[in-house]
Amino acid sequence: MKLDIPLQDAWQPLPAKDWNEDTARHLLRRAGWAAQPAEVDRLMKDGLTASLDRLFPAKANPFPKPRLIIGIENDTEAFAKKLRAAETPEQKKILQREQRERQQQAVQDLSIKWLQFASVPENAVAEKWVLFFSDVYVISQESVQNTAWVYAFQDTLRQLGFGPAPDLAKAVSRTPAMIRYLNLQESKIGTPNENFARELLELFLLGEGNYTEQDIKESARAFTGYREKLGVFHFAPAQHDNGPKTIFGQTGPFAGDDVIDLAFTRPAAGRFLPHEMVKFYLTDDGIPIEYLTAIGDWWRGTGYDLRQLAQHFFGSRIFFDPAFRGNYIKSPIQFYLGLVQDLHLNVAPFPRHALNALRLMGENPFRPPNVRGWVGGRMWINSGTLNSRRQLVETLFTPINEDNLNADEQVQLVAARSAGLSDFTVTNERLGTILTSMTSAQITDLFVNYFLTVRVDADFRANVLAFLSDPTAKDPLARLRSTAITLLQSPEYQLC
Amino acid sequence: MNNPLNTLPTTRREFIKWGGRGIGLIAFSRFAPSFLVESTLAATPAPEKDRSILVLVQLAGGNDGLNTVIPFEDADYYRLRPTLGIKKEDALPLGDTLGLHPSMTALHALIKNGQAGIVQNVGYPNPNHSHFRSTEIWETGSSSGEFLPTGWIGRFLDNACAGIPDGKEADPVAVHVSNEMPQSFVSAQTHPTFGLNGSGGRGNPENLAFLEKLIHHEDHGANANVSFLRSTMMDALVTDKKVQRVLGGYKTEAGYPGTPFAQSLRNVAALVAAGMSTRVYFVSLGGFDTHSNQANTHQRQLQTLSDGLAAFQRDLVAKKLDSQVLTMTFSEFGRRPNENESRGTDHGTAAPLFVMGSCLQGGSLHGTSPSLKLQRNQDVTFTTDFRQVYATVLDKWFSFPTDKVLGKTYEPLTFI
């Protein structure tokens, strides 16, 4: 798309005069999930520079390892032993099935725990950054199966996501999840598997058109010998091809790390990640290549430091450009966590609430459709996914019927409550306090201004006010509830 | 209007009248107002009769092809299936060497009178044994090692439905009877598709009426994504309302079984009969992943499939719609030729699929059966590529150039 902002201004820091509550909200919604008033106040108090420093720290807050993951890790050796000791294929199959179920349960639990963690304002921005990287470096629990590896993979993104980009790429290439997902496990001298090398250059570092088939073939040789052993990276020298390779015109006995360093000597490496950021955070239309080249050149000068890139990007004039307000279709995860934050709720502790909704809306956590990840933008939207978005909003305004919970869910509910999480739905009591303290006109302004990023005109407000204050409505509380639900289901709320 | 559900226009004439009230096309001009529908009320134009319609029936989980079309003269079959093998005398004969599973009497009758056929041993090179991945290969129409971002139906829609002027298209171009949109429908451009799911989600009428009001709201300053979301949501709401009315008022004597699968097909028949201009329907029947004690399960599955398909065809014939509709089954893979220790079968490769419709020709069996000279845990080798089946549908049913959808041409089969 064509931009109004001139190239020489685009990546300059936002002038202090333009820093206000509107720009602060834009930053919170795009870098995180939503703009809670307390967070806006905090940003205004701290100023943009200090806020960026805090939101994109040197190290993200640690995400505690869920208990089920620890259990799987502790049992890894014992399970491998049991599997070897199985006397018949039948026994082996039963063991494997049990293990699959355990992994399945673990990934659901991991998803819920992560959503809970990411919904906390203190973690939101860093965890969205992690989600961004997991849409660049894609793996899927569906194919990796081992949920402990999936946790470890995500944690690698979290631990190294604010350091130098080449370090992150090298660490990713050593994760058991990636080794399994893109077939490095089978890749050996003589018969290199090209899957990882291809995606590394095409989808992780450079983008299509910025390498040759020869570069892929030779890079694949460099990554031979990468193995996973009981969930730990292990390099097998005997499987590794240490002969000379020619990659990007350079020849040497390159190993995997060298391929990554070589890729980062290419100009395309500087453009690639900023382009992914633009599509994930700013607009799915993309921006002209000269804007990407400009930030890419600057980024290279930082040694490809990811924290500096993030702060530069989110502090720039182009990021705050008015063309990028209210134009972005929320991903299902952002839609859900945005609702949770906007409504000051807690993520309900059982899968049927959030996870079913996310799957139906098209974004099953830890299970992207394929190695390209989620395409996003308008691809999120069709009649089915919109219906699911509407249903999710209704769910968040409907009390949980505790009599209908199964035994697992009861346990999960008790555990969540004892951890201080109890507001899973918007109650009538909360709506009641709004009703008794504000006029219909005030409520209309509150809801429209607070929920919607898209600017709506006077007619829209008039429609809301007319519905809210309809004298024929029998139950004002139900009317208020309907108003909130419908605004959150509206096309406008799908955008930020 | 008394009924709050009825604030949206459901006919072209209503729409134009309503547009005159200031709500109109301008707000959506970037997107075809595809909710213009034209056939449910008596005074509206007749449905287009010449449209070819495809009904895709997914057999999810991997259908056991060898116990669906049984090679009863092949000693290897009984060697590989000592307990699960279906006896020759039980199979419903399809010729001298093959028979249909005994539970499929209804479909067998259709095959006998030329309304259904079998394409044998369909698969693809370098088969993948993962449900997820192999389904993706079938739905995107890719090779084993290739990842395509769009589905084969989606690419058909991209090519066939592009360039239709605003306001001309009416109904959703593709309808899936499931919660999630099938990967087959994923397209590069946006087309009106519709998910017909059993579970409500329509919300209370009061909210819905208010939501409709907000969507109709005309706002010239709205950005492109607001317009896109409004038109998509409006399409969904209008289509849903129309569909509910069509389904509620549908009369049929076809005697559909009570299974959810048959009811899904009944709903498809109702939409076809209502003259919806939808080109592709997608129905899924799950439960084919028969790893253990498969005999009874598989029998039930095939009977559900057979009885459902037969009722659907009966219905179409009675309504004289059979010449418009081609139905085709697919499954992500067949199953391992040798049965396992749990009297089930593991993930395999190629398998037969069914086609149904009055357009069929060339006999009941197409392609060749697999060779079963196989070791333990060896898979059959496909003899017909699934993309040849797609090519046949595209080329001969939709009269559409195959290479635009599949990237290259494939030798079509002769069942149409």
For the segment B72-97, the average pLDDT, to the nearest whole number, is 97
With CB atoms and an 8 Å threshold, state whether A459 touches B217.
yes
Give the chain B residue whose CA is nearest to the CA of A386.
B233
Give the chain A residue whose CA is nearest to the CA of B196.
A384
Q: A89 pLDDT exceeds 90?
A: no
Among candidates A66, A177, A43, which has minimal Cα distance to A117?
A: A66
Number of domains forming the structure of chain A: 1
With CB atoms and an 8 Å threshold, state whether B232 touches A492.
no
The CA-based angle A91-A95-A101, given to 5 degrees, is: 145
More confident residue, A334 or B22: A334
Give the chain A residue whose CA is nearest to the CA of B230.
A491
User: Among the residues of B148-279, which ranges form H helices?
Assistant: 152-160, 205-216, 224-248, 260-273
Q: Which of A327, A371, A491 is closest, CB to CB, to B147?
A: A371
Query: In this predicted model, what pLDDT tens digit does every residue of A114-156 receive, in sequence order?
Result: 999 999 999 999 999 999 999 999 999 988 999 999 999 999 9
- Residue A351's pLDDT is what? 87
With CB atoms and an 8 Å threshold, state whether A326 touches B229.
no
- Nearest-angstrom CA–CA distance, A338 and A488: 11
Q: Is B196 part of a structural domain of the chain?
A: yes
Shortest distance, CA B244 to any CA of chain A (angstroms): 15
DSSP state of A36: -
Shortest distance, CA A473 to any CA of chain B (angstroms): 10
Q: Is B238 part of a structural domain of the chain?
A: no
Q: B39 pLDDT exceeds 80?
A: no
> Are A355 and A365 a contacting pair, CB within 8 Å?
yes
Lowest mean pLDDT among A287-296, B219-228, B345-354: B219-228
Q: Is A481 part of a structural domain of the chain?
A: yes
- Residue B160's pLDDT is what? 86
Q: B166 pLDDT exceeds 60?
A: no
* CB < 8 Å to B230, chain A: 491
Query: In this predicted model, what pLDDT tens digit does every residue of B10-21 receive, in sequence order?
Result: 433 333 333 333
Number of domains forming the structure of chain B: 1
Q: A392 pLDDT exceeds 50?
A: yes
Interface test with A, best of B225, B289, B338, B339 (most A CBs within 10 A): B225
Query: In this predicted model, what pLDDT tens digit does every residue of B332-377 receive, in sequence order?
Result: 999 999 998 889 999 999 999 999 999 999 999 999 999 999 998 8
With CB atoms and an 8 Å threshold, state whether A378 touches B133.
no
Shortest distance, CA A388 to any CA of chain B (angstroms): 8
Q: Is A394 part of a structural domain of the chain?
A: no
Give the chain A residue whose CA is nearest to the CA of B343.
A90
- Given CA atoms B215, B220, B222, B226 in this order, what sign does their dihedral have? positive
Q: Is B89 part of a structural domain of the chain?
A: yes
Interface test with B, best of A383, A468, A485, A486 (most B CBs within 10 A): A383
For the segment B275-302, the average pLDDT, to the nearest whole number, is 94
Shortest distance, CA B233 to any CA of chain A (angstroms): 7
- Residue B15's pLDDT is what? 36
- Nearest-angstrom CA–CA distance, B223 and A326: 8
Q: How large a percentage of chain A has pLDDT more than 70?
A: 100
Query: In this predicted model, what pLDDT tens digit does every residue of A360-377 receive, in sequence order?
Result: 999 999 999 888 899 899
The chain-wide mean pLDDT, for chain A, equals: 95
- Residue B300's pLDDT is what? 96
- Residue B26's pLDDT is what? 30
Q: Count how many pairs of residues, chain A against chain B, have C-beta atoms within 8 Å.
A: 134
- The CA radius of gyration of chain A, in Å to the nearest whole number, is 25
Give the chain A residue whose CA is nearest to the CA of B342.
A90
- Residue B189's pLDDT is what? 84
- Nearest-angstrom CA–CA distance, B258 and B260: 6
Tokens read off for A137: 């470096």
- Residue B238's pLDDT is what? 86
> Are A121 and A39 a contacting pair, CB within 8 Å?
yes
Give the chain A residue whose CA is nearest to the CA of B147.
A370
Give the chain B residue whose CA is nearest to the CA of A462.
B214
- Residue A60's pLDDT is what? 97
- If pLDDT is split at 50, 70 and 90, which confidence band does B149 have? confident
Shortest distance, CA B278 to any CA of chain A (angstroms): 15
Parent domain of B312:
50-201+256-406
With CB atoms and an 8 Å threshold, state whether B195 touches A490.
no
ipTM over 0.90: yes
> Are B374 and B329 a contacting pair, CB within 8 Å?
no
Q: B5 pLDDT exceeds 80?
A: no
With CB atoms and an 8 Å threshold, state whether A394 touches B203.
yes
User: Among the residues of B92-177, which ranges form H helices?
Assistant: 105-112, 131-140, 152-160
Q: Which of B149, B217, B223 is closest, CB to CB, to A463?
A: B217
Q: Is A360 part of a structural domain of the chain?
A: no
- Residue B162's pLDDT is what? 58
Q: Is A190 part of a structural domain of the chain?
A: no
Among candidates B52, B14, B47, which has minimal Cα distance to B33?
A: B14
* CB < 8 Å to A485, chain B: 203, 207
Shortest distance, CA A150 to any CA of chain B (angstroms): 18
Q: Is A195 part of a structural domain of the chain?
A: no
Lowest mean pLDDT among A75-89, A236-250, B45-59: B45-59
* CB < 8 Å to A382, chain B: 181, 190, 193, 195, 232
Give the chain A residue whose CA is nearest to the CA of B206.
A482
With CB atoms and an 8 Å threshold, state whether A382 touches B133.
no
Instruction: Count the alpha carbons within 13 Å of A440 in the hemisphere toward its beta carbon.
Output: 16
- Nearest-angstrom CA–CA distance, A180 and A177: 5
Q: How large a percentage of chain A has pLDDT more than 90?
A: 89
Q: B198 pLDDT exceeds 70?
A: no
Q: Is A453 part of a structural domain of the chain?
A: yes
Q: Which of B130, B222, B341 is closest, CB to CB, to A89?
A: B341
Q: Which of A329, A387, A492 is closest, CB to CB, to B195?
A: A387
In the three-class reduction of DSSP (H, G, I as helix; E, B as strand; rest coil), residue B187 is classed as coil
With CB atoms and an 8 Å threshold, state whether B203 touches A495.
no
- Residue B368's pLDDT is what? 96
Concatenating the DSSP letter of every residue in B112-126 gives: HTTSEEEEEEEE-SS
* CB < 8 Å to B332, chain A: none
Q: B170 pLDDT exceeds 80?
A: no
More confident residue, B109 or B204: B109
Tokens read off for A9: 């201004």
With CB atoms and an 8 Å threshold, state whether A372 touches B149.
yes
* CB < 8 Å to B147, chain A: 370-372
Parent domain of A462:
428-494
Q: B31 pLDDT exceeds 60?
A: no
Residue B336, phi-psi category: left (phi > 0), alpha (psi -120 to 50), beta (remainder): beta
Residues linked to residue B328 through DSSP beta bridges, in sequence order: B56, B355
Interface test with A, best of B180, B185, B276, B338 (most A CBs within 10 A): B180
With CB atoms and an 8 Å threshold, state whether B132 touches A90.
no
* CB < 8 Å to A360, chain B: 179-180
Shortest distance, CA B27 to any CA of chain A (angstroms): 13
With CB atoms and an 8 Å threshold, state whether A381 touches B217.
no
How long is chain B?
416
Give the chain B residue whose CA is nearest to the CA of A391.
B201
Tokens read off for A385: 């996914």
* CB < 8 Å to A463, chain B: 210, 213-214, 217
Give the chain B residue whose CA is nearest to the CA of A481.
B207
Tokens read off for A319: 């990021």
- Residue B7's pLDDT is what? 37
- If pLDDT is split at 50, 70 and 90, which confidence band does B202 have? low
> Are A141 and A107 a contacting pair, CB within 8 Å?
yes
- Residue B163's pLDDT is what? 44
Q: B37 pLDDT exceeds 70?
A: no
* CB < 8 Å to B377, chain A: none
* CB < 8 Å to A328, chain B: 225
With CB atoms and an 8 Å threshold, state whether B195 touches A384.
yes
For the segment B265-294, the average pLDDT, to the nearest whole number, is 94
Lowest mean pLDDT among A410-419, B16-25, B149-158, B400-409: B16-25
* CB < 8 Å to B229, chain A: 329, 381, 386, 491-492, 494-495
Name the phi and psi angles at B35, rounded to 5: -85, 0
With CB atoms and an 8 Å threshold, state whether B230 touches A381.
no
The chain-wide mean pLDDT, for chain B, equals: 85
> Are B174 and B280 a contacting pair, CB within 8 Å?
yes
Lowest mean pLDDT among A384-388, B15-19, B106-110, B127-131: B15-19
CB atoms inside a 10 Å sphere around CB B16? 14
- Residue A90's pLDDT is what? 84
With CB atoms and an 8 Å threshold, state whether B180 touches A384.
yes
With CB atoms and an 8 Å threshold, state whether A457 touches B193.
no
Shortest distance, CA A304 to any CA of chain B (angstroms): 30
Residue B70 sits in a domain whose CATH number is: 3.40.720
> Are A323 and A4 a contacting pair, CB within 8 Å?
yes
Q: Which of A326, A369, A387 is closest, CB to CB, to B236?
A: A387
- Nearest-angstrom CA–CA distance, B70 and B92: 9
- Given CA atoms B393, B395, B401, B406 in this order, what sign does their dihedral have? positive
